A and B are shown apart, each in its own frame.
Chain A
Amino acid sequence: MRNKISNYLNNGDLRRFRFWLQLSLFILFVYGGYAAINIGDNLPTFSCTYVDGKPGTCFLVPLQHRMVTTPEKLFSYAGMAILTGLFYFTLWFLVFNKAWCGYACPLGTVQDWITALRKKLGMQYVTYSWGQFKVLKKIKYIFLLLLIFIPMGIGSGMFSHDMGVPFCMICPARTILPMFSGDFSQLTIDFSSKTKMIMTSLGMLITGIFLVGAFVKKRFFCFFCPMSAFHYLLSKPALLKLKKDGSKCTKCGDCYSVCDMQIKEIADNIDDRNILQDDCIMCFKCVAACPEEGALEVDFMGQPVFEATVQGYIKRMEKANKNG
């Protein structure tokens, strides 16, 4: 019985499974609120607060709000609020790890749809050179630091309150996701103050870059996402894991060829069992593209749920060659 289930899973068509799960979760995160679903305000994914039908809120929103405080308050009751928020965020996150990015994030899903459109048009995607990759990957950590320190600067009077929720102002989720419920109001520049004008203009500019970027580069924005950086800091104890058995790896590079995030370690690192890298979105395309029995596997609480097998690999590749 157990064997049958694992065979079924390992032979599964990950592409199709992922498409439908992403679509369902997209509907949940964009329209769930209309069905009176409420899953809280500390979600580890872009359940954007500017979306009318949101079922909950992205953790970065309350975080940025709560950080607008003075150091004294931060170490008393305001700090408690931040910690409880962080607690719920961590609980959510620990279960699914970075699969929140690859399966749940509505902005990630939008990027995958843009990619699908490009594919339909028969266009080639671009990749970063190794040098660019190493520099650009640091940006998400800078964003993360800024979205914590700018609100603290507001709290201590260094910045204007118009700088509030600074990351949301430039986040493409704010401008793009509301459009799915017919709300185009975020696509404006706010002229009420100089700071607001700058921030909203920046937001518009980044939205433009996002649309072009996602069209030419797979998962363009995820590379810069501060949520992804935050995830990585907490990912070690998570229950869902991506594991590699280096002794079974031939370094054939199939996993690297299919990786949306250009993660080289997945193919070249044969020493680490826990192979999750900070840029990983846990889409598990690498596991689906691995022809070595058990070289890559997805574990949940130590139990393998999806494992690389030759049989599964061949099934998926034959299908991809036919349809691709």
Chain B
Amino acid sequence: MGNEIEIEEKKVPFNRTPQAIEAERMLRRIKDDFQDNPAAMDYFYDLYEQVYCKGQSLHEKEKIVGTMCVQVPEELIYAAGGVPVRLCNGFYTDDQVGAEFMPAKSCSLVKATLGMLDKRSTLPFVDKIENIILPATCDQKRKAGSMIGEMGYEVYNMEVPPVKESEEARLYWRRSVHNFAVSLKGITGKKITKASLKEALAKVAAAQKAYRTLHNLRKESPSIFLGKDAFMVTNAYFFDKIENWTAAVNKLNAELEQRIEEKITAAQRRAPRILFTGSPAIFPNLKLPVLTEESGGVIVADETCSSNRMLYDMVAVDEYNTENMVASIADNYLKPCTCPIFTKNDDRIRKLINMAKDFAVDGVVYQSFSGCQVYQMEHSSIAKALKAEGVPMLFVESDYSPDDMGQLSTRIEAFIESLKAKRRRKR
């Protein structure tokens, strides 16, 4: 019999994979299309390059626990000796792979996450993930759970109440978080102790403190920091080592404070100040924030789960015993959460209005992924509330595909122009 010819599949080096190219392209745009980026941003640019363009791993020894939504209490994962890595993904290349799992009109984020998990080895942290924590949030994420399970991951379904105002919801969620805290031992092999939880709380609090300072620095007018960089910073929190991240943000804050003193601004005095809300901007799908700032606007604040909603609210504890800490953590992940999956969303409206005032916002850009029903359904109520406050809003339905770039930029430019005109009229 003839010799069997073994065809060895040639492994494409990571930096030549479609994702790496996609990441590289966005990274270049964010870095090079804008002048005078803060020097402290180099840490973040390098981090993205290392992880997404070169495929280098960040967490060598630690047990990585994948999380699927902002509702997963990361303090508990840290306390159990794990490292939470948020898996919500922004790659168009993965979105295309994930399309086979979901109906045609589905959320790009969910599809991209499924695509990424299905391929397994492409991203440096995905190949190490065994356990994924999936809170029962929107329908698409919920149903994605079983598909992820079939791919061979161990999925922990975390129950989330659909109503958050009632006492029932609080108790239900507290129980859910408590059960999660107990189950983590089976995942990481380490039990949560009073000391480890206290330490985890301090670690996350330090990161949130750094974030809060950055958040408040963005109130400065004229703006000293661009929104595209802010998204890069908060997005890095998904996967970076938390201590390094905190140190880098503190360094950035120090530089920005310096810039205020030296009167170095990031945008023109008349650049319309934009509040970004809706579906999260996750690298490399930062096209909407980048287009907004390329068109002359400046994003001064955001209300999204990849950024503000993830880092803003801080946990206060009265007595540092495990039970109380877990209960306080639980309340903090549910009560202030402005995720559109909940029945009512007065809190989101209130938060947006308050932010619009605090940050002297000229207009709101509302991103909704095509297929994200909950954000689409909240559109009209948010639009109405903002109109009553005299804040113009642009609602943009988009997905991860680059095809709508031209159409989007026309709409955004027109919106920014109208805001500028409005400002001129005021004066």
Contacts and interface: CB of A to CB of B under 8 A. Distances in A.
B165 to A, nearest CB: 7
A187 interface: no
A320 interface: yes
Interface stretch (B19-27, B327-335, B417-425): B327-335
Interface stretch (A23-31, A122-130, A222-230, A274-282): A122-130
Contacts of A251: 335-336, 347
Contacts of B216: 310
Interface string A228-269: 000000000000000000111111111111100000100110
B317 interface: yes
A119 B313 contact: no
A124 B321 contact: yes
Interface string A164-186: 00000000000000000000000
B350 A247 contact: yes
A253 B320 contact: no
Contact of B336 (A252, A318, A320): A252
Nearest to A115: B319
B209 to A, nearest CB: 5
A268 B320 CA distance: 23
Interface string A272-299: 0000000000000100010100000000
Interface in B303-329: 312-321, 323-324, 327-328
Interface string A31-54: 000000000000000000000000
A248 B354 contact: yes
A318 B165 contact: no
Nearest to B209: A314
Nearest to A268: B165
Contacts of A249: 350
Interface string B275-319: 000000000000000000000000000000000000011111111
Contacts of A258: 316-318
A250 B314 CA distance: 11
Interface string A309-321: 0100110011011
Interface stretch (B52-60, B122-130, B197-205): B197-205
B351 A256 contact: no
B319 A119 contact: yes
B132 to A, nearest CB: 27
Interface string A129-157: 01000000000000000000000000000
Interface residues of A, number: 34
Nearest to A322: B202
Contact of B205 (A124, A253, A255, A321): A321
Contacts of A285: 318
Contact of A254 (B312, B314, B354): B314
Given A247-B350, A248-B354, A270-B350, A324 B317 contact: yes
A267 B335 contact: yes
Contacts of A254: 314-316, 328, 332
A164 to B, nearest CB: 41
A249 B331 CA distance: 14
B165 A289 contact: no
Contacts of B242: none
A107 B336 CA distance: 36
B335 A253 contact: yes
A257 B320 CA distance: 12
Nearest to A290: B316
Contacts of A122: 321
A320 B331 contact: no
Given A258-B318, A317-B316, A250 B351 contact: yes
B51 interface: no
Contacts of A314: 205, 209, 212, 314
A321 B314 CA distance: 13
Nearest to A286: B316
Contacts of B316: 254-255, 257-258, 289, 291, 313, 317
B167 interface: yes
Contact of A318 (B205, B315, B319, B323): B205
B260 interface: no
Given A256-B331, A310-B216, A324-B320, A317 B313 contact: no
A268 B198 CA distance: 26
A251 B167 CA distance: 14
B102 interface: no
Given A247-B354, A321-B198, A321-B320, A130 B331 contact: no
Task: Name the 4 nearest CB pairs between A and B, nearest first.
Answer: A254-B316, A324-B320, A253-B331, A289-B316
Interface of A: 119, 122-125, 130, 246-258, 264, 267-268, 270, 285, 289, 291, 310, 313-314, 317-318, 320-321, 324
20 contacts: A123-B321, A124-B323, A125-B319, A248-B354, A250-B347, A251-B335, A252-B313, A252-B314, A252-B332, A253-B331, A254-B315, A254-B328, A257-B315, A257-B317, A257-B331, A289-B316, A317-B205, A320-B317, A321-B202, A321-B205
